[in-house]
Amino acid sequence: MIRKSQYSILLLFTFLLLIGKADAQNLRDYISLNGKWYFSIGDNTDWARYHYNHFEWEQIRVPSPWEQQGFNGYDGFAWYRREVHIGPEAKELSLWLDLGYIDDADEVYLNGELINRSGQFPPAFKTAYNAHRQYKLPSQHIRYNQTNVIAVRVYDAYNEGGIISGNIRIRAEINPLVPDLPLEGHWKFKTGDESYYKAVAYNDSNWDELMVPRAWEDQGYSDYDGMAWYRKTITLPDNLKDQRLVILLGKIDDVDEVYINGVLIGQTGEINDNYFFTYNNAWKALRGYTIPPKLHKATTQLTIAVRVQDRTQTGGIYEGPVGIITMDKYINYWNARRTK
């Protein structure tokens, strides 16, 4: 068993600062997206593209089931598209897309890039109709001071379909913790538990791909509680190689161990067969682990492996930010939080 003395001091500092804070991100409304969206039934991968001409499509009201807008009885695939101007001031913001509730499953694209999804499309269909869709807009895919295109691919199996309810909008996070190297997006994922999953040389090519951050229940694993692993191999940019670094893994339900190039760098709680946790609120803690300099000064290629144990309900890396940040920037963020 891993001793508590191996628990990251930096993480403990972070968690103590979080006590008494709101669990959810502190967000303010930035742009309303309620109203008319372009809409088409059917399915075509070209409809995700930034330059696709959607102006001959129908327009329907969002949020509202498509059955109430002339598509009664339709079950299957459909797409929504919406153009939105994001100003230059947003470069200093962390933006989130709030799509409310979608029946049943969805994929969301920003300027042609897949940014997140919930549920699972056929042939292995799984609904996520009761999941609140609130997706981070990755800064690397935003066109600042330009027109941006949001495309939403939806599959409905029965009854009501589409973007059915909620307050549809883009929101801005107040005092965001913004990584220098964002790592949100596709990660390799596998249920089960083997110690060699942390090894750099391990071949994970046949693993599933999940969007991070997002609970695994929203991505085809709705009934799964237990052990699972995430993996991602990255190349560290030259400007970060000689810096003191922290890896941000957002919030994880319930407990975790984090390895870089096969070396344990931190954990929250303790994983064991009896589902006994070091503290019951581990799922609320924002993960921030120091990366030992020897790991990234010897090589710019880092293999990140995250071992997760979930006991009940939500599981996995369910909320961001996820990425790598300099230690100085990380400390400055928490100093600013403490003075407010």
How confident is the model at residue 91, as a pLDDT?
86
The reply to whether 49 and 152 lie within a common domain is yes
User: Do 113 and 10 share a structural domain?
Assistant: no
Asked if residue 222 has pLDDT above 70, the reply is yes
* Over residues 136-146, mean pLDDT: 92
Residues 205 and 251 in one domain: yes
Instruction: Note whether 73 and 128 are same-domain residues.
Output: yes
Predicted confidence (pLDDT) at residue 327 exceeds the cutoff of 70: yes
Confidence of residue 340 (pLDDT cuts 50, 70, 90): low
Do 43 and 152 fall into the same domain? yes
Could you report the per-residue pLDDT of 281-299, keeping only the tens digit for each?
A: 888 899 999 999 999 888 8
Last residue of a domain, one of 155, 173, 191: 173
Residues 67 and 210 in one domain: no
Of the candidates 173, 197, 226, which is a domain's last residue? 173
Confidence (pLDDT) at 325: 96
Q: Give per-residue pLDDT as tens, 44-95.
A: 999 999 999 999 999 999 999 999 999 999 999 999 999 999 999 998 888 9
pLDDT of residue 4: 35
User: In the chain, pLDDT over 70 holds for what percent of residues?
Assistant: 90
Residue 15 confidence class, pLDDT cut points 50, 70, 90:
very low
**Within this chain, do residues 15 and 34 fall inside the same structural domain, yes or no?**
no
Same domain membership, residue 194 and residue 317: yes
pLDDT value for 174:
77
Do 35 and 12 belong together in one domain? no
Does residue 81 sit in the same domain as residue 206? no
- Together in a domain, 32 and 14: no
Of 130, 153, 173, the domain-final residue? 173
Domain tally, the chain: 2
Q: Are 184 and 165 contained in the same domain?
A: no
pLDDT for residue 274:
57
Average pLDDT (200-211) is 96
The parent domain of residue 154 ranges over 27-173
The pLDDT of 179-204, averaged and rounded, is 96
b/e per residue, 137-157, with b = 16+ CB within 10 A? Answer: bbbebbeeeeebbbbbbbbbb
CATH code: domain of residue 31 = 2.60.120.260
